Amino acid sequence: MKRKYISIICAAVLFTGILAAAMCIYAAGKKMAGHDPLQPEIAQKILRFHILANSDSEKDQSIKLKVRDEIGNLMQKKLKDSEGLPDTEAVVLEHMDEITETAERILKENGFSYGASAKLAKVDFPEKTYGEYTFPEGEYEALQVTLGEGGGHNWWCVLYPNMCFQGSVYEVVEDEADEKLQEVLTPAEYADVFNSGKIRLRLKFLEYFH
């Protein structure tokens, strides 16, 4: 009788694992086809931070990162007590002029004559990978800072929940940020963001031998 119960439990665990894997593979397959059914739900729960450089020249790309760091420092202080997405959006809107002034100050201090603008906007993003996290392509709300003509390669991160960090560790997502992301997203959405990139690579590997 005891063995029977153990067999039932093992079968249930195995079935749950297979079902979860199938769901992830299904979502990854949708991504490969250019559509992720979970993207609209994910987009409603996060706020991205988006900076467009004036051009792709070395100088314009370099100043883009300096502006990023300065605005990052500013927003880290402003958002330290914010709770939830609506509160984060309200704080960003309240300090939009200061964000623009900060960007323009850094540009001027480094000898750049073009200006900057900042706004909360709906932005179409391609699929973007941040550390181990891959966010599906689609429309997201973002704090968008445009330097000059905004014709150069852009930089991005997730402002809420906070996945933006300083300097060389910008591409490292700390445990606290990972836990917050899990709180904000459903288990299926989190698995889609965290696991889909890895699963997609496995699918491509299997296609090689098909």
In single-letter form, the type of residue at position 62 comes to S
Which one-letter DSSP state was computed for residue 1? -
3-state class (DSSP) for residue 149:
coil
Which residues pair with residue 135 across a beta bridge?
A: 128
Q: How would residue 83 be classed by pLDDT, with cut points 50, 70 and 90?
A: confident
Cα 94 to Cα 210: distance, rounded to the nearest angstrom = 55
Cα 66 to Cα 170: distance, rounded to the nearest angstrom = 13
Q: How would residue 22 be classed by pLDDT, with cut points 50, 70 and 90?
A: very low
What residues have CB less than 8 Å from 195, skipping those under 6 apart? 24
pLDDT of 20 above 50: no
Tokens of 190: 């989190």
Relative to beta strand 138-147, strand 116-125 is antiparallel
pLDDT of 102 above 70: yes
